Structures are given as C-alpha cells and as structure tokens.
Amino acid sequence: MTMIGEENKNEKKNFDTELFCDAVPKEVPRINGIIQKFYDWAQANSLWILAFGTGCGSIEMRPLYTARYDISRFGMAPRPTPRQSNLFIISGYASVKTLKRIVRSYEQMQNPKFVMGLGSCTVNGGMYWDSYNTINRLDHYIPVDTYVAGCMPRPEALIAGFEDLKKRIKEGRAEGANEYAKNFEWYKANQKKVIKDWDMPDYNW
C-alpha cells in the first residue's frame, strides 16, 4: 500500500528523469564523398544564431540583427531557443555564473552546431584576465570553431567572421560537436573545476 504523498514523490522522480537525458554525446562520423560535401554546403548556408548575450558583445549584435547591418541578407537570423539554432556566439567575457548557462544551452543545441568566440575576452580573458569571476579561455569549456578578436569587434568584423566560419564548414573543419563528444570527460572536468555548485545532470538536451 502506498500513501498519496509517496506516489507523488515517485511521479516527480520519473518526471525529472524523463526530461533529462544522461547519455553521453556520440560522435557523428563524416561520410566521404560528394554527399558530405553537399551536407557541408547546406549547413554553411543555414546558420541560425542563438540570441544569447553575455558581456558587451551583445550590444554589437543588436545592430547586426536589425536594419543597419541586417544579417538576414546572408540568410541568417536569431532564434529564441537553443533547440532551434545551430550557431552559438559567446559575445564577450563569460563569468562563471554565465558559463553554467552557456554549457547548458550548448548541450541543448542539436547537431550540427558551431560556436563563435567574439571579442578578446573569449580568447585569453582580455582585460578581465586577472578577474576572480571571469574565465580566461573559452575553448577549455566548450569547443570553439572560430574567433573574432577585438575589444569590441564591430558588426563588420562579425560578418567577416561568419564568412570565415562558412569557409571552415565547407572545408569540413568545423567539427566542434564531435570534438566535444570525443573529449567529453576533459571538458566536463574543466567545467566542474570552476562551477563549484554543480547541480545539473551530466549531459542534458
């Protein structure tokens, strides 16, 4: 015989496990030949940006989306949720509190997914290199496909960065998601080193 309260407890537990997937991400092997080339070409021309802003770079991304620089000329657009986007722009310094949200959002994105580090802060910490609360190298926590250096880069530099990313995707060198799956334990150890109150599932999407 079960009490009503216990039943509810069990239900809640199931609800939690149903929503999260603990399975480790898997590598998606590349197919050799013309089909992969077609995939790469298609992926390069279908970049959807996750509208997520950290630091001062998010100010530079607003004119990019709107009339002045109008990113929809290139067939790109911001999306409100990580599940609908495949390009993650880390726009400037990332504090530890933000890094937690970054990891969570990155893991919720579907393959193929690409990451762009915007600004000097994502390269080596920038002017916040000695801060107690901002990370120095983004590529130790999530794989980064391309960087746009500067403090802060103008929207023109970002557009040049998109062209660079497209080139990399067409050449088949933007394999960040596979890199993440391959070195999953290293990335997780680095993330857990700075995020002290780890209260997330190990992998969630």
Partner 1 sequence: MEEMIERIKLKFNAKDINRQKATLVFFSVEKKDLEACVLYMKEFEGYSNLTMISATDWIETGTFGLTYHLHNYKNRTDVGIKTYIDRKNPSMVSINTLWAGARVFERELKEMFGIDFPGCPRVDDPFALEGWDNLPPMRKDFDTVKYSEETYFPRPGRSTKDNVTQMEEKLYAVEAEVKKGIAKTVRKNK
Nearer Cβ to partner 1 (63/201):
201
Helix intervals (H) in the chain? 4-19, 34-44, 57-65, 96-108, 120-124, 155-171, 176-182, 184-194
As a whole number of angstroms, the distance between CA 122 and CA 88 comes to: 13
Strands ordered across the beta sheet of 87-91: 77-79, 48-50, 87-91, 114-118, 146-148
Q: Is 194 in the site for partner 1 (CB under 8 A)?
A: yes
Strand partners, 36: none
Q: Is 124 in the site for partner 1 (CB under 8 A)?
A: yes
Q: Is 129 in the site for partner 1 (CB under 8 A)?
A: yes
Residues between 62 and 91 with contacts to partner 1, criterion CB under 8 A: none
Applying CB under 8 A, among 190, 200, 202, 203 the residue interacting with partner 1 is: 190
Q: Is 56 in the site for partner 1 (CB under 8 A)?
A: no
Kindly state the tokens that stand for 90. 């880390």
Nearer Cβ to partner 1 (58/136):
136
Q: Is 130 in the site for partner 1 (CB under 8 A)?
A: yes
Q: Shortest distance, CB of residue 124 to partner 1, whole angstroms? A: 4
Q: Which stretch binds partner 1 (CB under 8 A): 40-48, 121-129, 154-162, 166-174?
A: 121-129
Residue whose C-alpha is closest to residue 162's, from 58, 59, 72:
72
As a whole number of angstroms, the distance between CA 100 and CA 47 comes to: 24
Looking at residue 87, what DSSP letter applies? E
Q: Is 125 in the site for partner 1 (CB under 8 A)?
A: yes
Q: Is 196 in the site for partner 1 (CB under 8 A)?
A: yes
Q: Shortest distance, CB of residue 140 to partner 1, whole angstroms? A: 5
Applying CB under 8 A, among 89, 90, 102, 135 the residue interacting with partner 1 is: 135
Q: For residue 115, give the H/E element and its range.
A: strand 114-118
Q: Is 111 in the site for partner 1 (CB under 8 A)?
A: no
Kindly state the tokens that stand for 137. 């190298």
Residues forming contacts to partner 1 in the complex (CB under 8 A) are 95-97, 100, 123-125, 129-137, 140, 190, 193-197
